[in-house]
Structure 1
Amino acid sequence: MKTLPRVFLFTILCVVFLYIIITYLLQDKHESPHSYNKIISDNSRVLGKISNANNLKITSESSLSVLETHPSPFNSKLHKIVLAVVACGDRLAETLVMIKSAIIFTSSDLVVIVFSDKKLIPSFKEKLNEWRTITNQSFSYEVYPVTFPPEENAEEWRALFKPCASQRLFLPVILKHVDSLLYVDTDTLFLGPVENVWRHFEKMNSSQIAALAPEHEDPNTGWYNRFARHPYYGKLGVNSGVMLMNLTRMRAFQWTAYVIPIYKEYKLKITWGDQDIINIIFHFHPEKLYIYPCRYNYRPDHCMYMNVCKSANDEGVAVLHGSRGSFHAIKQPPFHAIYKAMEEYQLGTDLYMNLYMPMKNYLDLTSSSNCGKVRHIFTKSVEKIIQKVDL
Structure 2
Amino acid sequence: MKRGRRVTSSLVLITFFYLSYMIFLSSPKSTESKHEIINKTHQSVVYGSPSLKAPMVIAICQSVTGREASSTSSTVTLNERVRSWSRQAEQLTTMLKTLLYFTKSPLWRIIVMTDTLDTFNKVLNLTASLPRRRLLLQHRPIWLPRNEPVIKRHWRPCAWAKQFMAEALPDQDSAVYVDTDVVFLGPAEELWWLLHSMGPRQALALAPEPQYLLDTPKRPFAGRVGLNTGVMVANLTRLRQLPGGGLGSAILDFGVITPPPRHDQDALNHYLLHKPHLLLEVTSRWNFSPTCCFREAPPCADCLSAGILVLHGSEATFFRSIDRKFLLVYATMAAMKLEDSPRLLLAGLAWRLAMLDTWSHDYICSNYTNFNQGLTLALHEAAIEQI
1:18 matched to which residue of 2? none
2:126 matched to which residue of 1? 127
Q: Which has the higher contact order (CA 8 A, sep 6+)?
A: 2
Closer, same or farther: CA 260–267 of 1 in aligned 2, 3 Å = farther
> Partner amino acid for 2:250?
Y
2:140 matched to which residue of 1? 144
Contact 1:82 1:181 in 2 (8 A): yes
> Partner amino acid for 2:233?
L
How far apart are the structure 2 equivalents of 1:144 and 1:358?
39
SS class of match (1:207):
coil
Closer, same or farther: CA 81–206 of 1 in aligned 2, 3 Å = same
Could you tell me which of 371, 378, 382 is aligned with 1:381? 378
2:91 matched to which residue of 1? 94
Asked if residue 106 in structure 1 is aligned to residue 103 in structure 2, the reply is yes
2:332 matched to which residue of 1? 341
> Partner amino acid for 1:83?
M
SS class of match (2:331):
helix
SS class of match (2:171):
coil
Contact 1:106 1:193 in 2 (8 A): yes
Tell me by how many angstroms 1:328 deviates. Answer: 0.8
Closer, same or farther: CA 87–363 of 1 in aligned 2, 3 Å = farther
Structure 2: gaps spanning 5 or more residues: 1-48, 63-83
Tell me by how many angstroms 1:337 deviates. Answer: 0.5
Structure 2 counterparts to residues 190-339 of structure 1, below 5 A: 190-216=184-210, 222-223=213-214, 227-229=217-219, 231-253=220-242, 254=245, 255-262=247-254, 265-266=256-257, 269-271=260-262, 273-303=263-293, 308-339=299-330
2:6 matched to which residue of 1? none
Tell me by how many angstroms 1:180 deviates. Answer: 1.2
Structure 2 counterparts to residues 169-208 of structure 1, below 5 A: 169-208=163-202
> Partner amino acid for 1:84?
V
How far apart are the structure 2 equivalents of 1:328 and 1:161?
20
Closer, same or farther: CA 107–158 of 1 in aligned 2, 3 Å = farther
2:356 matched to which residue of 1? 366
Tell me by how many angstroms 1:326 deviates. Answer: 1.4
Contact 2:342 2:382 in 1 (8 A): no
How far apart are the structure 2 equivalents of 1:159 and 1:382?
42
Q: Percent identity?
A: 26
> Partner amino acid for 1:198?
W
Report which stretch shifted further, 173-182 or 356-365.
356-365
Closer, same or farther: CA 148–257 of 1 in aligned 2, 3 Å = closer
What TM-score comes out, normalization by structure 2 length? 0.70
Could you report, residue by residue, the CA deviation over 1:43-66 in whole angstroms, capped at 9, with x for unpaired residues? Answer: xxxxxxxxxxxxxxxxxxxxxxxx
How far apart are the structure 2 equivalents of 1:103 and 1:242?
18
Contact 2:59 2:162 in 1 (8 A): yes
How far apart are the structure 2 equivalents of 1:304 and 1:81?
33
How far apart are the structure 1 equivalents of 2:199 and 2:296?
33
Tell me by how many angstroms 1:170 deviates. Answer: 0.9
How far apart are the structure 1 equivalents of 2:124 and 2:189?
25
SS class of match (1:150):
coil
Contact 1:81 1:110 in 2 (8 A): no
Tell me by how many angstroms 1:287 deviates. Answer: 0.8
1:41 matched to which residue of 2? none
Closer, same or farther: CA 227–207 of 1 in aligned 2, 3 Å = same
Tell me by how many angstroms 1:305 deviates. Answer: 5.2
Could you report, residue by residue, the CA deviation over 1:327-358 in whole angstroms, capped at 9, with x for unpaired residues? Answer: 112331000001101111123443433x4344
What TM-score comes out, normalization by structure 1 length? 0.69
Aligned residues: 302
Tell me by how many angstroms 1:304 deviates. Answer: 5.5
Closer, same or farther: CA 380–162 of 1 in aligned 2, 3 Å = farther
How far apart are the structure 1 equivalents of 2:229 and 2:346?
28
Closer, same or farther: CA 326–162 of 1 in aligned 2, 3 Å = farther
Contact 1:132 1:140 in 2 (8 A): no
Contact 2:213 2:225 in 1 (8 A): yes
Structure 1: gaps spanning 5 or more residues: 1-75
Closer, same or farther: CA 329–364 of 1 in aligned 2, 3 Å = farther
From the CA coordinates, give the structure whose radius of gyration is larger: 1
Closer, same or farther: CA 304–333 of 1 in aligned 2, 3 Å = farther
State the superposition RMSD in angstroms. Answer: 2.8
1:165 matched to which residue of 2? 159
Tell me by how many angstroms 1:157 deviates. Answer: 2.8
How far apart are the structure 1 equivalents of 2:199 and 2:372?
35
How far apart are the structure 1 equivalents of 2:221 and 2:196?
26
